[in-house]
A and B are shown apart, each in its own frame.
Chain A
Amino acid sequence: MLVKVFVTSRKGILDPQGRAVEQSLKSLGFGGVGAVHVGRYIVLELDSPSLEQARETVRRMCGQLLTNPNIEDYTFEIEPQEGGPQEGGPR
């Protein structure tokens, strides 16, 4: 499986990077720009017998290492990988 984790600074937490990008976009003349958050995008391959188990593993990874729950939020997607073992059989 291919896991894609998106990490952004938590809402309400000061995000100096996001704010700098927001200001720059506005000064370039892009209208309608609201709050900007700069985050991290992590892609990892994972061997897991089931999607449910993979989700649980990724949640634990995020809690222990990939994110700092104090200051960051995350979402993730899991894609079955071509040729690899996956639930639901071949697509």
Chain B
Amino acid sequence: MKWGVVRFPGSLDDADTLWALGHVMGQEALSLWHKDEDLAGVQCVVLPGGFSYGDYLRCGAIARFAPIMKSVVRFANDGGLVLGICNGFQILCEAHLLPGALMRNRSLSFICERVNVRVENATTPFTCAAREGEVLRLPIKHGEGLYVAPADELRAMEARGQVLLRYTDAAGRERDDANPNGSTRAIAGVANENFNVFGLMPHPEHAVEAALGGEDGLKIFRSIVTSAERPRARVAGAAASRTSA
């Protein structure tokens, strides 16, 4: 399948994402320039980690107005798959493609470590290669990863199954000391209502080879490949949202 990884000024992880997709997974993956509006016919757009536009004003606030984002928003609204990792997650929230926002970590410190996240909903295009309740070990590296959303919105999101990943301990138990940044309800990753846009703070692209300390990140990318090849997986996510709503 064909992937596009956007490069904004200040993006850091676009090359690693291209490596993970192209070299490790054998996918067709190309770089998309922030000033272009053409998405080159890709089937999934990835907004990578980094510090786009120097994190000026708020993380992701400026990137949202890059020319390519117009096309990304249109693509997402037409049902196209969009994955935002770390700064990409922040950009998706600022662009209103995902609910909520990301604030300074509870500790006020930049955190760089491996964490455990539990798969909360395995019926979506981003998680269908994992099992529900499965614990993935992925790296995080961020200063602003504390997820917040209005209480009523959070309740609705939980009911619809939009929380896809939650920080837990290695056994999959929620514990305050296993929540690295103080995220509300230990949320590590959320999808939109249509389950075609997903943002997460952990970095799957940095966990795709044993030499990198783990391969759990592949589950996210494999899910997307699987769902693109079997469009029914996408419908499954939407169906889950209807039954639980």
List A residues at the B interface (Cβ < 8 Å).
Answer: 9, 13-17, 20, 65-66, 68, 70-71
Nearest residue in B to A64 (C-beta to C-beta)?
A: B65
Docked-complex contact B146 and A68, CB < 8 angstroms:
no
Question: Nearest Cβ in chain A — how far from B179, in angstroms?
Answer: 12
Docked-complex contact B148 and A13, CB < 8 angstroms:
yes
- With A65-B57, A68-B58, A68-B94 as given contacts, are A16 and B104 in contact (CB-CB < 8 Å)? yes
List B residues at the A interface (Cβ < 8 Å).
Answer: 57-58, 61, 65, 93-94, 100-101, 103-108, 146, 148-150, 182, 184
Q: Which has the most chain A C-beta neighbours within 10 Å: B104, B107, B182? A: B104
Docked-complex contact B108 and A68, CB < 8 angstroms:
no
Nearest residue in B to A18 (C-beta to C-beta)?
A: B104
Name the B residues within 8 Å of A20 (CB-CB). 108
Docked-complex contact A14 and B103, CB < 8 angstroms:
yes
Docked-complex contact A71 and B57, CB < 8 angstroms:
no
Name the A residues within 8 Å of B65 (CB-CB). 65
Docked-complex contact A71 and B104, CB < 8 angstroms:
no
Question: Nearest Cβ in chain B — how far from A66, in angstroms?
Answer: 7
7 A–B pairs (Cβ distance < 8 Å), ordered by A: A13-B103, A14-B184, A15-B103, A16-B103, A70-B100, A70-B101, A71-B101
Name the A residues within 8 Å of B106 (CB-CB). 14, 16
Docked-complex contact B108 and A14, CB < 8 angstroms:
no
CA distance A10 to B105 in the complex (A): 16
Name the B residues within 8 Å of A14 (CB-CB). 103, 106, 146, 148, 182, 184
- The residue that B148 contacts in the complex, of A65, A66, A71, with Cβ under 8 A, is A71
CA distance A9 to B146 in the complex (A): 14
CA distance A68 to B150 in the complex (A): 13
- With A68-B94, A70-B101 as given contacts, are A16 and B182 in contact (CB-CB < 8 Å)? yes
Question: Nearest Cβ in chain B — how far from A70, in angstroms?
Answer: 4
CA distance A70 to B149 in the complex (A): 7
